[in-house]
Amino acid sequence: MALFTFSGGVHPDDGKEYAKHAPITEYLPKGDVVLPVGQHIGAPAKPIVSKGDHVLAGQKVAEAGGFVSANIFSSVSGTVKAVEPRITPAGTKVNAIVIENDGEFKEVEYHAKPYDSMSKEEVLGAIKEAGIVGLGGAGFPTHVKLAPKDPDAIEYIIVNGAECEPYITGDYRMMMEMPEKVIEGLNIVLDLFPKAKGIIGIEDNKKDAIAKMEALVKGDARISVASLKTKYPQGAERSLIYATTGRSINSSMLPADAGCIVDNVATIAAIKDAVKDGKPLFSRVVTVTGDAVANPGNFLVRTGTNVNELIEAAGGFKKQPEKVISGGPMMGMAMFTTDVPAVKTFSCLLAMTKDEVSANQPSNCIRCGRCVSVCPQKLMPMKLSVLADHNEIDEFEKLHGAECVECGSCSYICPAKRNLAQSMKTGRKQVLANRRKK
């Protein structure tokens, strides 16, 4: 059977064995929950509660601050203690709503209109109201993504089940444990775009998930399953679009420009909860893993839960880690503290006994060209990184540096251990900032 793939890429140890077989376990927070108002791309949400207010789980506590923004809901019942700046997993300080958890987890009553009587506008309204954002890590508000300029031009709804980032297994567990919910969510999105077909892309290191999904869509003319070659970054939006449709996009384009919409497995499942059940987004699956973790696992976590509680739920550290990462080892961010809340985009806590990156001292480029051979965008990272380091941003842009997808494949393969991805990321940010100014 031919596997779908893309040009370039690398093959890091996937590390899935740590948590792959651990069923999703619901974890209820013990302490206060902290809800940053910026858990998404776009304008921060605006708090609509004040200190002393009593709230229920599922109650809106902050409303979208603009078109590209998202509502935020309490994940527990309790009392608002403060609205004040708190540190996020990304290491930034963001205004946050702090709720004293009463431990009772009383929820609001959810109301959903019968789906077969809902208009497209009402479906989009339910998704917007639920505060759903991309749960693969980007955090782009889903209602915006599902409202392209020309809905009739959308030909493919692609569900990203690749989960190519090493160690993370939350999406895999969702496909294994609640595949029907994923299919139901995909059908809701397909109903918004009658001309579109659904494609569920899954890497072939998850053969059991592929088989499960194929069985569920057998005979369905609208939905197919694409077996993807296990290769990083297969799950990157541009790589996935090319692998499944043969279409290409660049930094100045949206997937919709190529007739595609891409959503992560967890996002699609959240759409089903919002539209069919009227339930807003205030929980997600988080993988706690790594060789420093005593009992790696996958947890259904309520937003705002302190990450230290999740570490404790996974048995704590069997050995003090040298590095702790929010996300995976390729695109995640090193954390200087774990005293932070699990937000909508927090997919994984990775704790490693050895910090292999810091142990490697970069040396001069040996011009081997390996970074070029693995770049999924066919760029020249060794050249672009130097331009970025010397702040030669105009030249960086001329050599298409903005096309970098920040996957880290170049740094991974570099025998000189140069910080290519970090430099490329810095240069790309500068290019995009300059474009916004213009």
Whole-number Cα distances in Å, 122 to 115, 117, 189: 10, 9, 13
Q: Is 260 annotated as a binding residue?
A: no
Q: Is 368 annotated as a binding residue?
A: yes
Beta carbons within 10 angstroms of residue 120's beta carbon:
14
SS (H, E, C) the chain: CCCECCCCCECCCCCHHHCCCCCEEEECCCCCEEEECCCCCCCCCEECCCCCCEECECCEEEECCCCCCCCEECCCCEEEEEEEEEECCCCCEEEEEEEEECCCCCECCCCCCCHHHCCHHHHHHHHHHCCCECCCCCCCEHHHHCCCCCHHHCCEEEEECCCCCCCCCHHHHHHHHCHHHHHHHHHHHHHHCCCCEEEEEEECCCHHHHHHHHHHHCCCCCEEEEEECCCECCCCHHHHHHHHHCCCCCCCCCHHHHCEEEEEHHHHHHHHHHHHHCCCCCEEEEEEECCCECCCEEEEEECCCEHHHHHHHCCCECCCCCEEEECCCCCCEECCCCCCECCCCCCEEEEECCCHHHHCCCCCCCCCCHHHHHCCCCCCHHHHHHHHHCCCHHHHHHCCHHHCCCCCHHHHHCCCCCCHHHHHHHHHHHHHHHHHHC
Q: Is 164 annotated as a binding residue?
A: no
Q: Is 375 annotated as a binding residue?
A: yes
Q: Is 348 annotated as a binding residue?
A: no
173-195 burial, b at 16+ Cβ within 10 Å, e below that, comes to bbbbebbebbbbbbbbbbebbee
Rg of the chain, C-alpha, whole Å: 21
Whole-number Cα distances in Å, 297 to 134, 313, 316, 414: 22, 9, 12, 32
CA distance 232 to 163: 9
Q: Which residue matches tokens 């992560």?
A: 264
Q: What does the block give as tokens for 38?
A: 């910026």
Binding site residue list for [4Fe-4S] cluster: 365, 368, 371, 375, 404, 407, 410, 414
What are the binding residues? 365, 368, 371, 375, 404, 407, 410, 414
